[in-house]
Each structure stands twice: as C-alpha cells, then as structure tokens.
Amino acid sequence: MTHHELLRRITVSTPGDPGSALIRGTSIAVIEVLGRFARGESTEELLRRYPQLVEEDLHACAAYATEIALLWAAPPTEESAYTPPTGTRLRLIAEALRFVRGVIAADGGSPLEGVMRIALIGSLATAKPDPGDIDLLITVASGMELAPLASRARRLHEAAETVHRGADLFLTDEEGQYIGRICRQIDCGHGVRINCRALHCGRRPFLYDDLHLVRLSARLITEPPIILWPNLIVRVPVPNDLQAGLIAPLQQLLGNWK
C-alpha cells in the first residue's frame, strides 16, 4: 500500500489540527495510537487493544506522523518559503522539531558532531497553554566546537521571538554535569561584551558558563521529562499537541516504530 493510500485511511475534521485526525470508520484518534507507540506498545499489542483495526491502520498513523513532520519541520529548499504554524504552543513545538531535525541531520544526514543527547525540559514539555521559552537540555562532548550549535540556537531563538518567546539551550558534559548555556552572540570572546555575566567569557567559545546564576538538579539532568534523541524516552504525560507535533514525527523520522 502506497503512502497516499495509507493517508486515505485517516480523516481530519479540522485541517491543520492533528488532534482532529481519526482512523477512518472509527472514533480512534491518531494521536492516541501514536502516543501508545511512543510509550513502547508493539503492533501486536495495539491490534489486541483495538480489535477493530488492522495493521494497515497503524501504518496509516505512521504515514500521518510523517506528513506532520514534513509540514512542520522540514524546511523547503528556499528558507523564505517556510510557512510556520499559527498559535504560540504550535509554533514553539514546530520550531523545536525543526531544530532537533536540523541537529540530528546536520552533516549530510549525520548528527552534528559532538552532540550526544537532546532532551526537552521546561513548560513546553507540559500542558501549560501559555508556555515560556523553548528549553532544551543538550549533552555535548568535552572537545566539541560549539559554534555550529550556537548558530542553530540563534535561529531557534529568533523563531521563538516571533511569538514573543525565546529559546535556551542548557548544556551538560559527558559526566552529566551542567556546564552552562549556549551563548547566543554572533561574536563570542573575552572582552567582546563588557557586561557578559559568564564566569569565564571566551574560555570556551560560545559557552555561557552561568553556574553562579543557574543550577540544574541532578535528577533533571539524569532523568529529563522527555529525551528526544538519540532514543525517545517519555517520562511524563504528553499533551496531544506535543505528541502529534514533536514526539510522533520524531519517532517516525528516527525509524523507531515497532
């Protein structure tokens, strides 16, 4: 069955709203099935749970997740042609997905060298209707050059600013120690900004080591609410828009379907 044939098994009552997508002929929401996939249920378990479904219906859910991922995350050939979704939460979710997708396929389809883990923390990982910034917790190798990650962080922050929000990338090292945030300045070095509050401005380019200002708990670092990459691990209840707009598309893109 082709991709488009699979999509015909899905009905969407409200265009642009993934939460309104149902498996044709049923009242089963696609995001419900995707959520169970994300929590580790296998195809066999889902078919036992939903006896009215067949395996093609589950493949159709995966195909729909791919469509959402392509719509919300994949930048077209011309960046100016990218049309972001409306609504603060949806926009932040879409930009988070776009960022993660760009990092894990930065070098000819390979992950950005030195990035070891990406997790979502903060209010966007909850059902808060009016979330604050996009907060990502990223583990980096000790010798990683941070400039490429900083460049992507600036673009993410600029995108979030269009809905009057921001983006923060909190960094940990390979031993699980918080080392600071990514510096969002285009030029980062000692003396470039007189009012820089980093403890050691410029010692490691683009590392804003604000350890006197920000502390992350050991538990948050070792067990963040949602790990997005390299493996999806969800430890908290996931709201429908986050499930449809970030978790399910990433699971499909990473090829983790069971």
- Write the secondary structure of 33-53 as one string of H (helix), E (strand) and C (coil): HHHHHHCCCCHHHHHHHCCCC
Which of 203, 159, 151 shows the shortest CA–CA distance to 180?
A: 203
| pLDDT given for residue 194 in this prediction | 56
The chain-wide mean pLDDT, for the chain, equals 83
- In angstroms, what CA-CA distances link 129 with 65, 98, 121, 241? 22, 21, 15, 11
3-state DSSP assignment of residue 169: strand
Which of 144, 152, 155 shows the shortest CA–CA distance to 204?
A: 144
| pLDDT given for residue 195 in this prediction | 67
Please state, in angstroms and rounded to a whole number, the distance separating the CA atoms of residues 105 and 90.
22
Mean pLDDT calculated for residue range 172-192: 81
Mean pLDDT calculated for residue range 20-45: 84
Domain regions of the chain by residue span: 1-72+239-258, 87-224
3-state DSSP assignment of residue 167: strand
Give the pair of three-digit tokens for residue 220.
């948050």
Q: 46 vs 200, which has greater pLDDT? A: 46
pTM of the complete model? 0.69
Q: Exposed/middle/buried for 220, CB within 10 Å: 0-12, 13-18, 19+? A: middle
200-204, Cβ contacts within 8 angstroms, sequence gap of 24 or more:
204/146
Percent of the chain topping pLDDT 70? 81
**Which residues in 94-153 belong to E strands, given as ranges?**
115-121, 134-140
Q: Does residue 55 have a pLDDT over 60?
A: yes
Backbone angles phi, psi at 205, to 5 degrees: -50, 130
- In angstroms, what CA-CA distances link 6 with 16, 33, 64, 221, 233? 18, 15, 8, 39, 27
Q: Identify the weakest region by mean pLDDT among 121-135, 177-191, 237-251.
A: 177-191
Percent of the chain topping pLDDT 90? 44
| pLDDT given for residue 65 in this prediction | 75
- Write the pLDDT tens digit of every residue in 71-115: 444 444 444 444 555 578 988 999 999 999 999 986 667 899 999
| pLDDT given for residue 190 in this prediction | 58
Mean pLDDT calculated for residue range 52-60: 92
Please state, in angstroms and rounded to a whole number, the distance separating the CA atoms of residues 235 and 232.
10
Per-residue pLDDT band for 192 (boundaries 50, 70, 90) equals: low
| pLDDT given for residue 40 in this prediction | 73
